[in-house]
Amino acid sequence: MASQREIRRRIGAVQNIKQITRAFQFVAASKLKRAQDSTLAARPYSERIDEVLADLAAVLTGEDHPLLSKRPEVKRLIILITTDRGLAGPLNTNTIRFAAREITDHKGDLAVVTVGRKGRDAMRRARVPVEAHFAGFGDRPSFADILPLARLVSDDYRAGTYDRVDIVYSHFVSTLSQRPTMDPLLPVQPAEDTEGIPGRQFIFEPNPATVLDQLLPRYVATRIYQAVLEAKASEESSRMVAMKNATDSAEELIDDYTLAYNKVRQANITREMIEIATGAQAR
C-alpha cells in the first residue's frame, strides 16, 4: 500500500487535473452558446438555397452550367471536416471512422480535402491522398473564410478533375448528440419532389449561364459554410461534455484517494498506539 506522502501527492496531482478540465468545460460552454446560435441561424438560409438549386437542377442540365453536369464517377472528392484540437471526446474518432468506411466502400479513384488537423493526420496515416488542407477556421468562422475552399472545389469540378464531391462532417443534433453525416455537394442534385414539374418554368435574365455563374458558387460556399458551423457547434458541445465527464471522474478519484489516505493514516495511528502499549507493558 502506498504511503501517506505518496497518496497526498496523487491527490494534489488529480486536483490540478480537475482544475484544468473544469476550466476547459466552462470555456467550451461559453463558446457553445455562440456556435449553436450561429448554426441554427444559418440553417434556414442553407435549406432554402438547397431547395432553389434543387428546383433549378430539375429543369436545367450540364449544358447550362458545368456545376450541374453529371458525369460517370471516375474520380471522387471528399471534404472531411474535423477539429484542430483534441479533448473533444469521440467526435473526431466517429467522424473519421465514418469517412474511412465511405472511402473503403468506394471502389473508384478518390481524394480528400481536409479541414482541421485531426482529419489530415488520420488521412495521412491511412495513406489516403490529401489534395489540400485547410486549418480550422477559428472559434468564429465567417463566410469569407470558406470562399477559398469553395473556389478550389468549384474550379476543380469545372475542370473535370473530380466527377463527384461530398462533404463529411459532424451534424449538430443537440448538446448530447452529434451525428457523422455525408452530404452530396456537386453535382447539384434535383429535389426528390420535383419529378413531373414542367421543364423551363423559370425565366432567366439575361440568360441561365449568367444567373448560374453567380448563384452556383454561392450555393457551394453556403453548403460548406453550414457544414463548418455544424462541426464547430458539435466540437464545443462534445468538448464540454467530455471535460465535464473528466471533472466528475477526477472528483471520484479524489474521493477514492482520500478514503485510502484515511485508511493508511488510521493504520499508522493504530500501529503506533500498539507499539506504545507494547513498550509500556515491556517495562
Considering the domain architecture, whether residues 141 and 76 belong to the same structural domain is answered as yes
Range with the lowest mean pLDDT among 176-180, 194-198, 200-204, 270-274? 194-198
What are the start-end ranges of the E strands in the chain? 75-81, 109-115, 130-134, 164-174, 177-186
Looking up cell 428546383 gives 55
Considering the domain architecture, whether residues 115 and 216 belong to the same structural domain is answered as yes
What is the tens place of the pLDDT at every residue in 119-128? Answer: 999 999 988 8
Domain of 268, in residue numbers: 4-19+243-282
Confidence of residue 113 (pLDDT cuts 50, 70, 90): very high
Considering the domain architecture, whether residues 194 and 256 belong to the same structural domain is answered as no
What is the tens place of the pLDDT at every residue in 51-103? Answer: 777 777 766 766 777 887 788 878 889 999 999 888 888 899 999 999 999 88
The CATH number linked to 131 is 3.40.1380.10
> Rounded CA gap, 148 and 258, in Å?
55
Average pLDDT over residues 227-249: 91
How many domains, in total, are found in the chain?
A: 2
> Is the separation of the CB atoms in 24 and 247 below 8 Å?
no
Considering the domain architecture, whether residues 11 and 150 belong to the same structural domain is answered as no
> Rounded CA gap, 278 and 283, in Å?
9
**Tell me, what DSSP letter sits at residue 66?**
G
Considering the domain architecture, whether residues 202 and 273 belong to the same structural domain is answered as no
Considering the domain architecture, whether residues 115 and 254 belong to the same structural domain is answered as no
Considering the domain architecture, whether residues 74 and 163 belong to the same structural domain is answered as yes
Cα dihedral 119, 166, 233, 173, rounded to 10, equals -120
Range with the lowest mean pLDDT among 6-20, 186-200, 245-259? 186-200
Q: What is the pLDDT of residue 198?
A: 47
The CATH number linked to 257 is 1.10.287.80
Considering the domain architecture, whether residues 8 and 52 belong to the same structural domain is answered as no
Considering the domain architecture, whether residues 175 and 41 belong to the same structural domain is answered as yes
Considering the domain architecture, whether residues 166 and 193 belong to the same structural domain is answered as yes
